[in-house]
Amino acid sequence: QYKIDLYTKAYIEEVVKRTVDTVVSQEELKKYYEENKENFRTNGTLVRLRYINVSKANPRFGTIRSKFFDYSIKDKKFWETYALQCKSFAMNDTVWVDMSQVYTKLPFITPDNRDEFVIAGKRIEKTVENNVYLVKITNVIDKNQISPFEFSKPTLKEVLLNKRKLELIKKFWLNIKKESLLYLDV
């Protein structure tokens, strides 16, 4: 019986994997998110920021600094050229990152001094040895707050796909039960 159960389970999983619709629309994601926001709370602090780590000796340091803090989309060509001169950088401040990544990329920020640096709207210029970190904090969401939709999107997709799989498995088992009852009645 155990062997039959294992084969049955494997068969059902394969059927589900092949038949479940894996396309989840943006509307489905948003609807589920809005209905279940309370279930999507942060485990830690989330931050949106941009930063560069550049040598203070860089001959274009003044221009780089100015363009960084007065960031404009029209400066895209400039950043395509000069970002490569930076030791490290992240210019996409629309993406939410976990605080642990901030600690890794910006070593002068630690859990002890986090509250001094990680403030929405804060501009930071920090010299460490011969390098200068330029940082612009766009937004901060603290622990146990509702996660933003964009950050929750991958989880939302997995939740919706798992719900579809469970519904399909349930439907499959109901059909098996119906057929077995018909077989017993004969």
Which residue type does 31 have? K
Q: Tell me what pLDDT residue 105 has.
A: 93
Dump the DSSP string for the chain. Answer: -HHHHHHHHHHHHHHHHHHS-----HHHHHHHHHHTGGG-B-SS-EEEEEEEEEETT-TTHHHHHHHHHT--GGGHHHHHHHGGGSSEEE--TTS-EEHHHHHHH-TT--TTTHHHH--TT-EEEEEETTEEEEEEEEEEE-TTSBPPHHHHHHHHHHHHHHHHHHHHHHHHHHHHHHHHHHHHH-
Mean pLDDT of 4-19: 85
Q: Tell me what pLDDT residue 72 has.
A: 84
Gap between the Cα atoms of 185 and 83, Å rounded: 75
pLDDT digits (tens, 9 = 90+) for 91-117: 888 899 999 999 999 999 999 999 999
Q: What mean pLDDT is reported for the chain?
A: 90
pLDDT digits (tens, 9 = 90+) for 51-82: 999 998 989 899 999 999 988 888 888 888 88
Q: Tell me what pLDDT residue 184 has.
A: 67
pLDDT digits (tens, 9 = 90+) for 118-131: 999 999 999 998 89
Q: At which residue do the structure tokens 């709370």 appear?
A: 41
Q: Tell me what pLDDT residue 19 has.
A: 87
Give the end-to-end CA distance of the chain in Å, rounded to a whole number.
24
Which range of 20-24, 119-123, 165-169 scores highest in mean pLDDT? It is 119-123
Kindly give, in sequence order, each residue whose CB lies less than 8 Å from that of residue 136, ignoring residues fewer than 6 positions away. 49, 50, 51, 68, 69, 71, 93, 122, 123, 124
